[in-house]
Amino acid sequence: MSAPATTVAPNRVVQQQASAWELAQAIQNGQTTSLELVEDAYERIATMDGTIGAFLSLTKEKAIETASQVDADAKAGKPLKLLAGVPIALKDNMNMTGTKTTCASKILKGYVSPYNATVVEKLVANGLPVVGKTNLDEFAMGSSNENSAYGLVKNPVDIERVPGGSSGGSAAAVAAGMVSLSLGSDTGGSIRQPASLCGLVGVKPTYGSVSRFGLVAFASSLDQIGPFARTVTDAAALYQVIAGHDERDATSRADATPTLDIAALAAGGEDLKGLRVGVLQELDGISGDSKKALQPETIEAFHKGLDTLKALGATLTTVSLPSTQYSVPIYYILATAEASSNLGRYDGVRYGHRADAANLHPMYRATRAEGFGPEVKRRILLGTFCLSAGYYDAFYGKAQQARRLMTREFAETFAKVDVLVCPTSPCTAFKFGEKSSDPLAMYLSDIATIPANIAGVPAISVPCGVDALGLPIGLQITGPHLSEAQLFHVARAFEAATASRA
Ligand code: GLN
């Protein structure tokens, strides 16, 4: 089912591939086999990944084992589960028994997972072969994948540019067409921002709807695992596979049991009559500050997107959430505070790398000095400072109060509108090195995505145009807790309307 490599522009490295939904149907109908698709994925990886750098390790044996089981079931005429047989890539901060989990950090070099994350169990139980683990910013801290200890990931749309981060490898693997699905994790935008920069659909689910068991913790109260795909239907199907209550995650929601009608989504053809869309004033590209924060072409594409929503029957109103102006500082206090605590476990004793030293304390110090990269160190220092005696109330305590305020503003807003829209990223994919020397400029990449993590609500990024260089622009749609079905419905209608216009 593979097509030859297509080179649209000199900097573009993309292969055409069918959607995951179509591939799953083809396996069920006997037109192809899962093993064929797995082999196909490895062929694509072999030809393309030298250039892209999306994968840190391959998990061929496991992929073949899962694929063979699906093919045996298909041959026996058994009905296959959702997305059974479709190869998928996994961000390398999720544990999978017997495979390396590095979090793109030197400190976890040589670490082999002794257990499966719940999402991995779910993927395997549904018959999705995991082909490999993807590159990321070290411990998921970054917005460009430049913070990986194991090399850059190139954006397949333009290999001189970043794919976004921190789930850059997962985004690039799908955008290049090496696989049709991948999982990422999103603490402040790490699925939606790379999805936007690579022209994909990316979903940050409701906090607690996808189990975090087996996901290496960055900031536990913000982290969520979610899908990357090229279509809304594929992303919805993958969410259906991975969501659900898990008693091994204390923050898992008991009411997280999606029952999405994937076939209806795939069929499309629905409008948005009666839908109340709120346009987030703080990022609407009209007010002075938001005009400055956003690239002009992003504003233009966003406003065209608003016209599309209107044409589909939605009613648009401008709504203001004043607290979102403070989302970046709130996030960089809460996330770093939690990270400083979570990363305390890498002491050279329990996991991965251990430095040579005569005594325990020098060993701890040397291990952490050698093992962590500069951005991770910066965050540990910042987080430890925010939690320290004398500063705790002024920083961490204040940020917690602001978080409650923002959560309340979201709840009040969703009493008035069904969904909220804004651009996903303030700018399109930037060049390597363009922001890496200025942490603040990099942190501002997440200005639009962070609020959903702080409030714990779901959000999806869907392609909504390109800039003058052909670089993708994303539209972010946010909804109240557990409104994923609605978000997929809106995103699917938007996707169908923009595809038919193109
Ligand atoms: N870019 C943000 C950060 O560096 C978000 C990362 C994430 O979502 N994992 O913290």
pLDDT score of 72 = 97
Confidence of residue 237 (pLDDT cuts 50, 70, 90): very high
Characterize the bridge pairing of strands 130-134 and 88-91: parallel
Residue 6 within a domain:
no
Higher-confidence residue of 315 and 352: namely 315
Q: How many domains does the chain have?
A: 1
The Cα diameter of the chain in Å comes to 70
User: Does residue 187 lie in a domain region?
Assistant: yes
Domain membership of residue 5 (yes or no) is no
Report the CATH number that the domain containing residue 18 is assigned in CATH.
Answer: 3.90.1300.10
pLDDT at 467 over 70: yes
Q: Which of 94, 103, 137 to mutate to test the pocket of ligand 1 (most atoms within 8 A of CB)?
A: 137
- Is 166 considered catalytic here? yes
The CA 142 to ligand 1 mean position distance, Å, reads 5
> What was the pLDDT predicted at 500?
60
**Mean of per-residue pLDDT scores for the chain:** 95
What whole-number percentage of the chain has pLDDT above 70? 97
Classify burial at 12, counting beta carbons within 10 Å of its beta carbon; exposed 0-12, middle 13-18, buried 19 or more: middle
Contact, 125 vs 325, CB < 8 A?
no
Provide the pLDDT for residue 218.
98
Give the pLDDT score at 461: 98
**Is pLDDT of 5 > 70?**
no
- Classify residue 139: in a domain, yes or no: yes
3-state secondary structure 292-347: HHCCHHHHHHHHHHHHHHHHCCCEEEEECCHHHHHHHHHHHHHHHHHHHHHHHHCC
Encode pLDDT of 321-342 as tens digits.
999 999 999 999 999 999 999 9
Question: What does the block give as tokens for 123?
Answer: 């993927």
Query: Among residues 43, 153, 31, 29, which one has the least CA distance to residue 87?
Result: 43
* Prediction pTM value: 0.97
Q: Looking at 19, 143, 166, 340, which residue is catalytic?
A: 166
Residue 387 has pLDDT above 70, yes or no: yes
Place 287 in a pLDDT band, splitting at 50, 70 and 90: confident
Q: How far apart are CA 452 and CA 113, in angstroms?
A: 30
| Average pLDDT of span 138-147 | 98
**2 in a domain, yes or no?**
no
Kindly name the residue from 91, 106, 133, 204 that is annotated as catalytic. 91
3 occurs within a structural domain: no
How many C-beta atoms surround the C-beta of residue 32 within 10 A? 19
Q: Return the ligand 1 atom nearest residue 335 CA.
A: 10
Q: Residues 225-242: what's their mean pLDDT?
A: 98
Q: Which domain holds residue 253?
A: 12-502
Residue 493: is it exposed, middle or buried by C-beta count within 10 angstroms (0-12/13-18/19+)?
A: buried
Centre of ligand 1 to C-alpha 331, Å, is 9
185 Cα nearest atom in ligand 1: 9
Identify which of 105, 134, 141, 145 to mutate to test ligand 1's pocket (most ligand atoms within 8 A of the CB): 141
Atom nearest to 189 CA in ligand 1: 8
pLDDT at 429 exceeding the cut of 60: yes
Model confidence at 288, in pLDDT bands (50, 70, 90)? confident
> What confidence tens digit (pLDDT) does each residue in 59-102 have?
999 999 999 999 999 999 999 999 999 999 999 999 999 999 99
Q: What is the pLDDT of residue 259?
A: 93
Alpha carbon distances (Å) from 134 to 40, 88, 103, 107, 170: 18, 11, 9, 17, 6
Q: Is residue 355 exposed (0-12), middle (13-18) or buried (19+ Cβ within 10 Å)?
A: middle
Residue 66 contacts residue 120 (beta carbons within 8 Å): no
pLDDT above 90: residue 452: yes
Asked if residue 182 belongs to a domain, the reply is: yes
H or E element at residue 413: helix 398-416
Assess whether pLDDT exceeds 50 at residue 1.
no
Question: Ligand 1 pocket: which of 135, 170, 187, 377 to mutate (most atoms <8 Å of CB)?
Answer: 187
